[in-house]
A and B are shown apart, each in its own frame.
Chain A
Amino acid sequence: MNRVDGKIALVTGGARGLGGMSARKLAEAGAKVVITDLREKDAAITLEAIKAAGGEAKFFKHDVANEEQWDAAVKFTVDAYGGLDILLNNAGVGGAAKPLEELSLNAWRHLMSINLDGVFLGFKYAIPPMKARAHLWPGGGSIISISSIMGFIGGSRAAAYCASKGGVRLLSKAAALELAPAKIRVNSVHPGFINTPGLRMGEAAMNQRSEGGYQRWVDGVVSRHPLGRLGEEQDIAHAVRFLASDDSAFITGTEIVVDGGYLAQ
């Protein structure tokens, strides 16, 4: 179940974190995977892990905000493996926590260029090769975009992030309608707070501000997840793999929320 044998996947931000684990799970389930990212060292570690487990993957250095590089990333995938069946738009940034009136237009645009423009460009360049092979699979092609619980609810001092993730959510629905006749399914995944290198990035600064500050922050975050823990990378990767597989053949234009109950309150 949830197998993706013979399928070809492109995973952005696939060097580590949610993207890295999703790349591993897709490879483990039989897909050939192109990992794209700016982080070459982390990507090498993930490639190594995939190969050690008997999987197949390659790396392409890629800035998702750059249109030419999207064209090149998709061409690289088609040249390397012969096509494209699964696109995982995972690359994204959190942005600095700033009140709206202190947020610069440049910072807003930088975040949008990665979190939302990057997803639009991914769709645009991935669609032609995906269309060509969608008929091969009972579930057609599959595009999965990582949004967030912040694509449903607001977060203080996270206006740009919320706007970008809300955009990903509705962009996915619009694309789902447009691509249904081409047999390409489009869905979004909405993680709660996941224990990733990205989440831990603020650890040093928080601890510097006050001793044990990071742990106190994590405890506060955990308390908003009814299941009583942060998510783990594999929690998201499993949902991605399900959506990538033919087992979700009738699922398109919808959201899979993987948040330990955060939004249910």
Chain B
Amino acid sequence: MNRLDGKVALITGGARGLGGATAKMMAAGGAKVLITDLLEEAGAATVAEIERAGGKAAFLRHDVTDEAGWQKAVKFAADRFGGLDILVNNAGIASDGKSIEQTSLESWRRVIAIDLDSLFLGVKHSIPAISARAGQWPGGGAIINISSIMGLVGMAGAASYIAAKGGVRLFTKAAALELAPKRIRVNSVHPGFIDTDMVRNGFKDLAARAGGIGENAIRDMITQRHPIGRMGMPIDIANAVCFLASDDAAFMTGTEVVVDGGYTAQ
């Protein structure tokens, strides 16, 4: 169940956090995993952890906004592991918590480039490799894009992030329609607040800006917005990504899997 034996996966931002948990779970499920990231040390550590557990993985330094870097990454997967079957577009950054009036065009463009342009480039350059092998699997090839609950609902002080993640959601649907004839499924995953460095740093920024409200108070406030009564863990997202990557999700494409402890049900 949810097995990925024989498949090759490329996970951007796979050194740590959601991407790291996903890389480890995919390798445990039988996939060969190419982790790409800017964080070389953390990437190497995750590869080493996977190898110690008997899995197969490699690391490549990769800026997801760089088109030539994408071509290199896909070629690396083909050279090292024989092809590509699963692409997880996970790399991303949060916006800086500023209001729309205070957001510079430069900062806006940076968030859109990392969180949205990267998907376009990743999908564009992965299609030939994934479609070449899609016929081998009952569920075809799979692309999973990490969006957010902020791709479904708004939040003050995060306009660029929300615009990017909303773009991820609909780009996913457009790609799903275009790639269905090639037997490549494309879906998005929408995490609530997950206990990762990115989210913890966000709390720090918010606390600094709010003045007088501590990090822990912000954390409690955010936790309370998840009816399930806790923030998510990276493994919660990794489980959903692995399900979508597997042939168990063979009839799922162009849709959203929301993993948010009930945040958007309210």
Tell me whether A226 and B253 are in contact in the complex, defined as CB-CB below 8 angstroms, given that A250-B233, A252-B227 are known contacts.
yes
Are B181's CB and A177's CB within 8 A? no
Contact-residue bracket for chain A: 35 or more
Is A112 on the interface with B (CB-CB < 8 A)? no
Stretch at the interface among A43-51, A85-93, A230-238: A230-238
A181 contacts the other chain (CB 8 A): yes
- Given A239-B249, A254-B264, does the pair A228, B180 have CB atoms closer than 8 Å? yes
- The contact of B248 among A177, A238, A260, by CB within 8 Å, is A238
Specify the chain B residue showing the minimal Cβ separation from A226: B180
Size of the chain B interface, CB-CB below 8 angstroms: 40
Is A250 touching B236 in the complex (CB atoms < 8 A)? Answer: yes
Is B265's CB under 8 angstroms from A176's CB? Answer: yes
Q: Is the CB of B29 within 8 A of A259?
A: no
State how many angstroms separate the Cβ of B10 from the closest Cβ of chain A.
21
Residues 219-246 of B, flagged 1 when their CB comes within 8 A of A and 0 if not, give 0000000011110110010011011000
Distance between Cα atoms of A229 and B236 in the complex (Å): 30
Of B13-21, B89-97, B118-126, B254-262, the segment with at least 4 beta carbons within 8 Å of chain A is B254-262
Selected contact of A261 from candidates B180, B236, B250, B259, CB within 8 Å: B180
In the complex, which residue of chain B has the Cβ closest to the Cβ of A190? B255
User: Considering the complex, which residues of chain B in the window 189-242 have a beta carbon less than 8 Å from any beta carbon of chain A?
Assistant: 192, 227-230, 232-233, 236, 239-240, 242
Contact B229 A251 (CB under 8 A): no
Q: Which residues of the other chain, B, contact A204 by a CB distance below 8 angstroms?
A: none
On whether the beta carbons of A264 and B173 are closer than 8 Å, the reply is yes
B53: CB under 8 A from chain A?
Answer: no
Say yes or no: A253 contacts B252, CB within 8 Å: no
* CB atoms of A177 and B227 under 8 A apart: yes
Residue of B nearest to A247 (CB): B239
CA distance A16 to B137 in the complex (A): 27
Asked if B103 is at the interface (CB within 8 A of a chain A CB), the reply is no
| A180-B227, A251-B258 known; A264-B177 Cβ under 8 A | yes
When distances are taken between beta carbons in the complex, the residues of chain B under 8 Å from A239 are 248-249, 252
Q: Shortest beta-carbon distance, B149 to chain A, in Å?
A: 10
Quick check: is A248 within 8 A (CB to CB) of the other chain?
Answer: yes
Beta-carbon contact of B251 and A192 below 8 Å: yes
**Is there contact, CB below 8 Å, between B260 and A264?**
no
Contact in complex: A260, B253 (CB < 8 Å): yes
Contacting pair B181 A257 (CB below 8 A): no
Q: Which residues of B contact A255 (CB under 8 A)?
A: 258
Q: Given A1-B29, A177-B265, A226-B177, check contact A260 B228 (CB 8 Å).
A: no
Q: Are B251 and A232 in contact (CB under 8 A)?
A: yes
- Verify B253–A1 contact, CB threshold 8 A: no
A249 at the B interface (CB under 8 A): yes
User: Which partner residue on chain B sits nearest A254 by CB separation?
Assistant: B258
Given A2, A249, A258, which contacts B252 in the complex, CB threshold below 8 Å? Answer: A258
CA distance A250 to B248 in the complex (A): 19
- Which residue on chain B has the smallest CB distance to residue A260? B251
**CA–CA, A158 and B253, complex, Å:** 25
Q: Is the Cβ of A257 less than 8 Å from the Cβ of B261? A: no
B154 to chain A, nearest CB (A): 18
Q: How far is the CB of B23 from chain A (nearest CB, A)?
A: 16
- Name which residue of chain A comes closest to B230, CB basis: A250
Q: Which residues of B contact A106 (CB under 8 A)?
A: none
Residues on A with beta carbons closer than 8 Å to the beta carbon of B254 = 226, 261, 263-265
List 25 A–B pairs whose Cβ atoms lie within 8 Å, in order of A's numbering: A1-B29, A2-B2, A176-B227, A176-B262, A177-B262, A192-B251, A226-B180, A227-B253, A229-B251, A235-B250, A238-B1, A248-B240, A250-B228, A250-B259, A250-B261, A252-B265, A253-B266, A254-B260, A254-B264, A257-B255, A258-B251, A260-B253, A263-B254, A264-B253, A264-B254
Point out residues on B near A: beta carbons under 8 Å: 1-3, 29, 173, 176-177, 180-181, 185, 192, 227-230, 232-233, 236, 239-240, 242-243, 248-262, 264-266
3 smallest CB-CB distances across A and B, nearest first, come from A264-B254, A253-B265, A235-B251
Give 4 A-B pairs besides A176-B265, A249-B236 with Cβ atoms closer than 8 angstroms: A1-B239, A258-B255, A261-B255, A265-B177
